[in-house]
Amino acid sequence: MRALGPGSVSSFLKIILDVVFAALWIGVGVFALITLAALLLSLNPDLLPNIPFRDEIDGRSVRTTAVNELVRNGPSLTSGLFAAGLYLAGVLVIVGSLRRIFTTLTAGDPFHPDNVARLRLIGLMLAGLELGRYAFWAVSAWLLPAVNRVEPSLSLTAWFSVLVVFVLAEVFREGARLRREAELTI
């Protein structure tokens, strides 16, 4: 089986990336709506409809307990959802760039000049996601000191991936340069 061109492995992978891209867009939209709802409900819990609950816990209704928990934990819940949405958006950018790269591979043009910028964007997004993970941990440790959490470790795999993508970007840049020179040769 061929690696490039129509009907190749790259065209099959492009289809998979298209499906993942659509699912990520749906996920980002759902996260945005859930984050907005959590923010609105934490600021104004009276927006919750009067849902009848049959159970009581220690003489208090379950609804009152749920509303109190929402008001108390709303900001941390909202910030966690917001961070997860940002992470998902970063993955969306990476998958979008990969889709465009695989479009050129399917067309049989692997050393398209735009692929260099796309690979650099992927490398930057991977680094940003990893730095964002560290930043989220630091901010949550500062704002919520009572919560027990595992400290993030330095992920060698993530940083190795970032370096590999940047090296591949330079390989593609050199390939595009050689292709331009070959086109000028008569």
Q: Tokens at residue 97, please? A: 């760039």
Same domain assignment for residues 121 and 181: yes
Same domain assignment for residues 12 and 91: yes
Tokens 């790269």, residue?
101
- What pLDDT score was predicted for residue 22? 96
Same domain assignment for residues 166 and 133: yes
For the chain, the maximum distance between any two Cα atoms, rounded to a whole number of angstroms, is: 90
Same domain assignment for residues 70 and 117: no
Digit-coded pLDDT (tens) for 55-72: 555 555 555 555 556 556
Tell me which amino acid residue 153 is: S
**121 Cα distance to chain centroid:** 13
Same domain assignment for residues 14 and 106: yes
Q: Tokens at residue 91, please? A: 């993955």
Same domain assignment for residues 37 and 105: yes
185 compared with 54, residue with greater pLDDT: 185
Domain extent at residue 121: 111-186
Query: Region 41-68: what's the mean pLDDT?
Result: 57
Domain count across the chain: 2
Same domain assignment for residues 57 and 106: yes
DSSP secondary structure letters along 34-66: HHHHHHHHHH-GGGS-------EETTEEHHHHH
Where among 110, 136, 163 does a domain terminate?
110
Tell me which amino acid residue 46 is: D
Chain mean pLDDT for the chain: 82
Same domain assignment for residues 125 and 70: no
Where among 87, 110, 133 does a domain terminate?
110
> With contact defined as beta carbons under 8 Å apart, do 82 and 39 qualify?
no
- What pLDDT score was predicted for residue 158? 92
State which of 39-43, 126-130, 131-135 shows the largest mean pLDDT.
126-130
pLDDT category, 47, cuts 50, 70, 90? low
- What pLDDT score was predicted for residue 64? 53
Same domain assignment for residues 31 and 81: yes
